[in-house]
Amino acid sequence: MGEGGVLVEWDWWTVDFGDAHAGAVGVLVGGGEPGPVYFDVGSGSYVPSTRHWSAYDGRYRRPRAEALRAVCACGWRGAAEYPMDWATIGDRPLYEADVDLTGPLADWTAHLSVVREATVPLPEPLAVLLIEMAGRLNAAAEDAPLAALRAAGVLERIASRVGREAVGALCDDSPSAEAVATGLGTTYSKALVTTSALLAFGFAGADCARKRVVSPAARTLRAAGDTVSMSCTDFAGPDHEQGGAFDHDWC
């Protein structure tokens, strides 16, 4: 969902980076990006709108795209612009026209390569295992959907616990939001939520008692509905119990 509730339909998405680097075809009109296209659905307070490139076809007083380029959810914009051939398109809606999108797709793919190059590399055995697991889950979703759903739940719980353990291992480094964002290939804002919760109280080190405490900052983020996987901190003794609320089910 984009600004002001405007629906943004992303054209490309990867498991590697998810929504943080979803890609789309961007529209240029008069050298800049136009506002959203609104659809007249009659009376009522809700007016649907979109920024999908195919809506900018000049019909019904909509803006008409002059050129296309690649855009990414992270804010990146492709430098190359691809002019629209309206002489060939004619009066057809863009969703019916055979518009060549290979240029924007290639530019977005190149952008992802730069992002991927800066991320922390996965050990080769782990990368292979993840690919194999994804293939097996996809096959199970077709052949045994209930079993696939159960397996997905197991993996989700494993990932949640492993994520918390990984945070604990990183605590001594006190990584910045920028470092986390680069290493994970995510956006600064998402990394900021993560590291704010992680660094809210600090960690007690390797000798700390294995007690999980949720910081006030983490509770605030949780109450706001944010998903915080780096919110539980380890403290060294009962003197710290007043610093946060115990939440054994979550932590």
Query: For residue 196, what pLDDT band results from cuts at 50, 70 and 90?
Result: low
DSSP 30-66: TTB----EE---SSSS---EE--GGG-BSGGG--B-S
Average pLDDT over residues 169-190: 81
Report the domain count for the chain.
Answer: 2
Q: What is the mean pLDDT of residues 33-59?
A: 85
Q: Which of 70-84, 190-204, 211-225, 234-248 has the highest mean pLDDT?
A: 70-84
Are 85 and 24 contained in the same domain? Answer: yes
Q: Which of 118, 136, 168 is the last residue of a domain?
A: 118
Q: Mean pLDDT throughout 201-225? A: 39
Average pLDDT (49-71) is 92
**251 domain residue, yes or no:** no
pLDDT digits (tens, 9 = 90+) for 9-38: 789 999 889 889 999 999 999 999 999 988
In-domain check, residue 194: yes
pLDDT tens digits along 92-137: 889 899 899 999 999 999 999 999 999 999 999 999 999 999 999 9
Owning domain of residue 167: 124-246
Mean pLDDT along residues 160-168: 80
| Domain co-membership, 50 together with 76 | yes
Residue 220 lies in a domain: yes
Per-residue pLDDT, 188? 82
Share of the chain above pLDDT 70, in %: 72
Between 42 and 121, residue with greater pLDDT: 121
Report which of residues 108 and 170 the model is more confident about.
Answer: 108
SS3 93: coil
Q: Is 184 found in the same domain as 97?
A: no
Whether residue 178 has pLDDT greater than 90: no
pLDDT of 2 over the 80 cut: no
In SS3 terms, the chain reads as CCHHHCECCCCECCCCCHHHHCEEEEEEECCECCCCEECCCCCCCCCCEECCHHHCECHHHCCECCEEEEEECCCCECCCCEECCHHHHCCCCCCCCCCCCHHHHHHHHHHHHHHHHHCCCCCHHHHHHHHHHHHHHHHHHHHCHHHHHHHHHHHHHHHHHHHHHHHHHHHHHCCCHHHHHHHHCCCHHHHHHHHHHHCCCCCCCCCCCCCEEECHHHHHHHHCCCCCCCCEEECCCHHHHHHCEECCCCC
Biggest alpha carbon distance in the chain?
Answer: 75
